[in-house]
Amino acid sequence: MSKDLEIRHCRVLVAVRDAGGVAAAARRLGLAQSTVSETLLSLERVLGAPVMLRRAGREAVLAPAAEALLPHARALIAASESALAAVSRQSEGVIRLGTVESISSFLLPRPLSAFRQRWPRIDLRVTVGLCEDLRRRVGRFELDAAITIEGAARAPDRAQGPGAGREAAWTRKLSPAQLRLVVSPRHALAGAEVARQDLEPRSFLLADPDGAFNGLLQGWLGDPAQGPRLESAGSIDGVKRGVQDSDAIGVLPNYAVAEELAAGSLAEVRVREPLPAIALLLTTLEAPGRSSPLQSLTDQIGAAFNAG
C-alpha cells in the first residue's frame, strides 16, 4: 500500500480545518461526507497517527499531527495549482510567428497542420516579411519568433543569446539548405554545367529586392563592371513565371522548386563552383522551453526543411 502523501489528502485536511468540520468540508468540496471520511482514514494510514480528535457531542477537531501537517498541505496545494497553471499557459495563448514567403508557402503548411492538432488551443498567427525586418520585430516584442533565411556563413552553428554579437535576442540555426539556379526547359543553359564566370553577364530573377539571396549572390558572383544584373520578380511565383518567358536565371531555395524540377517544368543550371549555402534561422527573445509549443513548432518546421 502506498505511503505517499497525496493532494487529495491535503485538500480534505485543509477543507476540514477551514470549514470547521467534516460535514462542512464535504459541502465545500462538493463531495459525499463518506468520501471525506474515507480520505481522512487514508491520511491516518499515511501518517501513522490520528488525524481527528472526536469529542462527545461536538464536531471533531484536528489532532496535533494533522495541525503540524497543515502548513505543508497548503504549500503542496499551492505548488500543485502553480504547476497546473504553468501547463495551462503553455497549452493556450498566442504565438506570433514571422517568416519569409518561401518558408510560409512551401514549408509551413504541413507542420502547421500537425501543430494545430497537437496544440488546438494555441492561436498561431503568421506574418510574412523580409528577414532583417522580422528579426527587428522580435527585438521590439512585436513578434514572439521569426524563422528566416540567412547565409550559412553568418548563421550561428549553435544557439546564441544576447551579447553574442547580435541584437538582444536568442538565435539558433535550424537547418542548412541549398540555392538552385533555375531556367525554362527551353533555355540554352537548361541542364548544362557552367563555370561561375559564365554567369556574370546574365540576368538573375529573385523574389524580392531586399532579401537575403541578393547579397549572397552578389558576393558569390563578384561585382564586375559588366554584370551581373539582379532583378526582382516580386514573389516566388513571379520568379517561376519570369524564367519561363525570358532568358533570365531564377534564384530560389531548393524546397521552393523541388516539384517543378522533378516534373520538368523548370530546369536546373548546374555550376561547378558551389553556390552560397543558406540556413534556416530561428530568432526569439529567449530560448524556447523544451516541451513548449514554440519548440514543438520549430522542430516540425526543421524536419520539413530537411525533407525539402
Residue with cell 512585436: 142
pLDDT of residue 156: 59
Residues in a beta bridge with 232: 206
Digitized pLDDT (tens) for each residue of the chain, 308 residues in all: 457 899 999 999 999 998 888 888 888 888 888 999 999 999 999 999 999 887 666 667 889 999 999 999 999 988 887 776 666 555 558 889 999 888 888 888 888 888 888 888 888 899 998 888 898 898 888 898 999 888 876 655 555 555 444 444 688 887 778 899 999 999 999 989 999 888 878 899 998 767 778 888 888 887 555 567 888 888 899 999 999 989 999 999 998 999 999 999 999 999 998 998 888 888 888 887 777 888 888 888 777 666 55
Residue with cell 474515507: 38
Under CATH, what is the fold of the domain 179-276? Answer: D-Maltodextrin-Binding Protein; domain 2 (3.40.190)
pLDDT of residue 172: 83
CATH level 2 (architecture), domain 92-172+285-307: 3-Layer(aba) Sandwich (3.40)
Q: Within 13 Å of residue 252, how many CA atoms lie on the same side as its CB?
A: 35
Tell me the one-letter amino acid at 221: L
Residues contacting 294, CB < 8 A, separation 6+: 95, 144, 145, 284, 288
Cis peptide bond N-terminal to 228, omega within 30: yes
- Would you call 143 exposed, middle or buried from its count of C-beta atoms within 10 A (0-12, 13-18, 19+)? buried
User: DSSP letter string over 79-133?
Assistant: HHHHHHHHHHHHHSEEEEEEE-HHHHHHTSHHHHHHHHHH-TTEEEEEEE--HHH
Count the neighbouring beta carbons within 10 Å of the beta carbon of residue 209.
12
Domain boundaries, the chain: 7-85, 92-172+285-307, 179-276
Output phi, psi for 290, to 5 deg.
-60, -40
Is the Cα dihedral 231, 191, 221, 133 positive or negative?
positive
pLDDT of residue 165: 43
Selected from 1.10.10.10, 3.40.50.10310, 1.10.3720.10, 3.90.550.10, the CATH number assigned to the domain covering 7-85 reads 1.10.10.10
Q: Do the first three CATH levels of 7-85 and 92-172+285-307 match, i.e. the same topology?
A: no
Look up the pTM and report it: 0.62
Tell me the one-letter amino acid at 179: L
Collapsing DSSP states into helix, strand and coil, what is residue 52? strand
Distances (CA, A) of 145 to 61, 70, 135, 154: 55, 44, 8, 19
